[in-house]
Chain A
């Protein structure tokens, strides 16, 4: 079967290397032929191999699972690997690195450093004084509660909610929707012994649960469709009573 020639598309990417003297931010246009099912992963890989071996971007799983490839596509943050070119009828895609994170180069930003700091800040782990005896039966968990924990554990730390967040622009130390969701996740986990008071100590301020202005672009853009609106509202209601 032969493949019909695809349309010509234009990918315009921001290029800038802050570590090289004299480098200035600029948009560089790449014109290429669209192939069936082409995603930004395929397009950017092609650009690097055939047009510009110096273009930096991050992909790992290229399947929407690892959260590496968040970038701003025509003004909206999205996972590049799940961005289908065919969804852009004009055939023009303008790519920028996500704001709110330290720029490494071109489309690559340092989400890892930010997420680790957030994880430490909200103590993103099970707190439990009892050492589990792993030779014995596991403790039972209500299947519904396990499912509910899993739902909130689906966050992939891609940073899209942070890049979408108006509060983050005003408050550089805001833990972001990702951080608040993380607290909500441990709050529901029966293995975690922390109380509402303990969580209040972690996020009971304007860099935490009381900082959110409820603009909710986070929920609009979350590629995992996490219930950020409900969970932030729930946590705020729960923690405001402790204020």
Chain B
């Protein structure tokens, strides 16, 4: 109270002091010319403390001048219009100058506050950028916010829990997660670059939650009315926290991706060496068995037949190992080596591969000459056709027909393999693609599972259906990008 009144006391004292000075020099000059001396303390008061003390000073000066120097001296009465005018000018000049000085002072105060804000933000942003560790930078932001006179508590919560600021309870963290999941702010908003408290049920001291792109800011504001500059500063700090949370999430995601990539490479390496370990003994088996079936080996017909059977079993074992490895490789998510290919070329390769197994089956290929190229992994899609063709050979009646076809539809190719064998039971149409599901006793149950995974990996779909002629497998493959844009 005393401190607040002091400027006014100083104002009155200053007016008194000027009166004394005028009293000393008055005999030598006309008092009316000396009245402008009062403007000096008024200006000083306005500049120093603002309008209130300045006006107090001008009124005091006016009264003192009237009492001591305006005739009749010793009273507050005024005799003539000249004296009235003189006093009015003194008061008006005092008021105007004090007004000017006061607004000057306010502008300066605002500029200083702004400079302080931007300096604080600049310091923070600089140390934030220097900090390699985003969590550390978030701590700097929280510390900055907690220094603000309007903030009681301030905390930053990321996607996996609290990252910086005042310690939150489990309940508060749950509330923050709720706010984040629904993107719903509670008790606070940011409008025109400033924090605006909202009226809530909980009263002024309850926590407010503000969801950001990749996290939540939790804070409590003090109950006292706050300056606009502080609220703007707070909004800027929350903006920084938002940026930092985004950066943190990007970093975490990049690290996770690197981890996956490394484990993919590891899986591919393990599968490759496993393939080597499993196939080498089978290779030795087959080489030995087939060597002995040569007529020159000198074995009896019956013994050679037995060896032939064993070789067929070894071949089957080799296929199963191959299928299992292919399936594991697909499940490990090994990258497809996709390039533009002519589908007829791919089908030709598959047909040649399984030609020995085609026996008496007639294969019709219906692929238009002008079918645009497809963008596929040739080996994998070749395997799709080989597996489907083998499946068809297995089910088509002896000498029965098999059809392979393809047609372009919009941005993809629809391809099919059909045979005139017995239909697939309706309940099994979905299950045929399951791993280890098989209709025959000799199959591995992996062929169609591999087919489905390869089609999936190319972003296509596959279905089994019973046509009038027999079962058909239809699947889609992507067209080459340059073919789509044409």
A and B, one complex? no
Binding site for B on A (CB under 8 A): none
